[in-house]
């Protein structure tokens, strides 16, 4: 296995997004058979030969220097997330065979991490991995994502919920935005960790079962997703808009802590209080985790 196809499709898709005018090139004649830049134009912008650029776009990043990668990122006008993805693809292409065949690590939630989650009592908080499995949460985290737990399979998975569960269309106020972001996060993870069998299995399942997923996956879009706002239509408290902050756990590679604070004094803060009351009555943690077959 290697990641040549991923590299090829990513670079060609980025090249197709840039017009000569956007790149500051003067174009003579209007008969262009390709969208975006030609290979020779991309090579010129990156400061490499056409033959060398062609080698790169055919998926061969073996031995490519950081300087060339930086020049390629500038020439193709990659944003920060796309640049990071390019470097991830290069690292994967140059990884040793032993590293590629490394055994998957079991991701367990350390007791201190769960204690931390439980100590966050006024806002939703949860831990996910790169495959978008929701591995642990506090009470409000389970309550907020209670529609996700209508699927009995555990761990609950954001991607599977968005693309395979009809409730997601109602839960996310802007389903298209949620779907686009979700696939971009998965695509970013696939560049960072291309030999993750669990991720490959998830992508395969979603590609087989969802046309909406297949179209987005083929676009090769990536993004950083560390802060912003999210809007939900919760079945218990209705419309709620929350901020979010995501932080990687230094002691637990691959795991991310996400919290959803509400602005003090806002309607969202009141909605979280109502959600907390409902969650306590329903014993939401037990409902979320009970009788759950493991995938």
* Fold of domain 111-289: Beta-Lactamase (3.30.450)
* Spatial distance between the Cα atoms of 13 and 21, rounded to a whole number of angstroms: 17
Q: Which two tokens stand for residue 288?
A: 């979320």
pLDDT tens digit string along 69-121?
Answer: 999 999 999 999 999 999 999 999 888 654 555 555 567 899 999 999 999 99
All structural domains of the chain with their residue ranges: 4-100, 111-289
pLDDT at 118: 94
pLDDT tens digit string along 134-175?
Answer: 999 999 999 999 999 988 888 999 999 999 999 999 999 999
Report the CATH number of the 4-100 domain: 1.10.260.40
pTM above 0.85? yes
What whole-number percentage of the chain has pLDDT above 70? 93
Q: Which of 136, 122, 15, 35 is nearest to 78 (CA)?
A: 15
Looking at the DSSP bridge assignments, the partners of residue 157 are 133
CB neighbour class for 118 (10 Å; exposed up to 12, middle 13-18, buried from 19): middle
* Spatial distance between the Cα atoms of 278 and 64, rounded to a whole number of angstroms: 55
């Amino acid at each position: 296995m290697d990641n040549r196809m991923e590299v090829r499709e990513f670079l060609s898709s980025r090249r197709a997004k840039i017009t000569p005018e956007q790149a500051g090139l003067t174009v003579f004649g209007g008969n262009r058979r390709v969208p975006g830049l030609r290979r020779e134009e991309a090579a010129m912008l990156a400061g490499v030969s056409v033959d060398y650029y062609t080698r790169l776009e055919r998926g061969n990043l073996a031995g490519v220097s950081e300087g060339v990668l930086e020049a390629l990122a500038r020439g193709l006008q990659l944003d920060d997330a796309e640049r990071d993805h390019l470097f991830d693809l290069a690292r994967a292409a140059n990884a040793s065979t032993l590293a590629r065949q490394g055994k998957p690590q079991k991701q367990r939630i350390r007791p201190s991490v769960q204690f931390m989650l439980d100590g966050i009592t006024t806002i939703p908080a949860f831990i996910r991995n790169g495959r978008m499995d929701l591995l642990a949460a506090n009470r409000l985290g389970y309550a907020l994502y209670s529609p996700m737990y209508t699927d009995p399979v555990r761990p609950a998975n954001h991607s599977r919920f968005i693309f395979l569960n009809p409730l997601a269309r109602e839960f996310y106020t802007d389903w298209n935005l949620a779907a686009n972001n979700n696939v971009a996060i998965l695509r970013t993870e696939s560049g960072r960790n291309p030999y993750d069998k669990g991720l490959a299995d998830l992508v395969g399942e979603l590609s087989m079962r969802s046309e909406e997923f297949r179209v987005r996956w083929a676009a090769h879009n990536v993004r950083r997703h560390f802060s912003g706002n999210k809007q939900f239509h919760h079945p218990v408290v209705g419309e709620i808009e929350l901020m979010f902050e995501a932080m990687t756990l230094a002691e637990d590679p691959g795991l991310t802590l996400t919290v959803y604070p509400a602005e003090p004094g806002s309607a969202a803060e009141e909605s979280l209080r109502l959600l907390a009351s409902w969650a306590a009555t329903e014993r939401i943690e037990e409902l979320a985790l009970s009788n759950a077959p493991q995938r």
